[in-house]
Amino acid sequence: MQLIVGVDGSDYGLRALEESLERAQELGGGVTVALYTDGQEGLDEIESLVSEELSAYEMDVEIVRLEDQPGSQLIELAEREGFDRIVLPGGRRSPLGKINLSNTIEFVLLNAQTTVTLVR
């Protein structure tokens, strides 16, 4: 099972990463991390959070950065390299707790031919 996991700066971004790593450890297979942002956080900031999380796992994980149009880049990458599944953060919570899906998540959900998992 080859997973590509999109990680943004949201809480659910790190949850998506953790879930993917756990899944890959159980089932075997690899994880590729695609960093993107559609919030306030910069890619460097997100990458350092990701590195910290990865240090708890003994896994060889490739990290790619998606700079603009991350949704379409993610889909292309998943199709080109034959990933079995795209894993994404399950949105962001507003101040009063409503889930909002970013344009990136919506784009991937509507356009991917790969199965997509949203993690909460």
Partner 1 sequence: MTLRYPDEPLEDLPTPPFGFSDGDGRSIEIRQATDECIEPLIEMYLEFDSEDRAQGIPPSGEEPIRKWLNIVTEDKSLNVIAWDGDEAVGHAMLVADEDESYELAIFVIQSHQNAGIGTELLRTVLGEGQSQGINRVWLSVERWNKPAIAVYEKLGFERMDNTSFEIQMTVRLGYD
The three-point CA angle 40-43-49 to 5° equals 95
Q: Which of 55, 58, 80, 96 binds partner 1 (CB under 8 A)?
A: 96
Number of residues that bind partner 1 (CB under 8 A): 13
DSSP assignment of 41-106 equals --HHHHHHHHHHHHTTS----EEEE--SSHHHHHHHHHHHTT-SEEEEE--EE-TTS-EE--HHHH
Contacts of partner 1 in 55-94 (CB under 8 A): 91, 93-94
- Tokens 């292309």 identify what position? 76
Q: Which of 28, 82, 97, 113 binds partner 1 (CB under 8 A)?
A: 97
* Residue 100 interacts with partner 1 (CB under 8 A): yes or no: yes
Please state the closest distance from residue 95 (CB atom) to partner 1, in A. Answer: 5
Of 38 and 47, the one with the shorter C-beta distance to partner 1 is: 38
Please state the closest distance from residue 80 (CB atom) to partner 1, in A. Answer: 27
Closest of 120, 97, 108 to residue 15, by C-alpha: 120
Q: Which residues bind partner 1 (CB under 8 A)?
A: 91, 93-103, 106
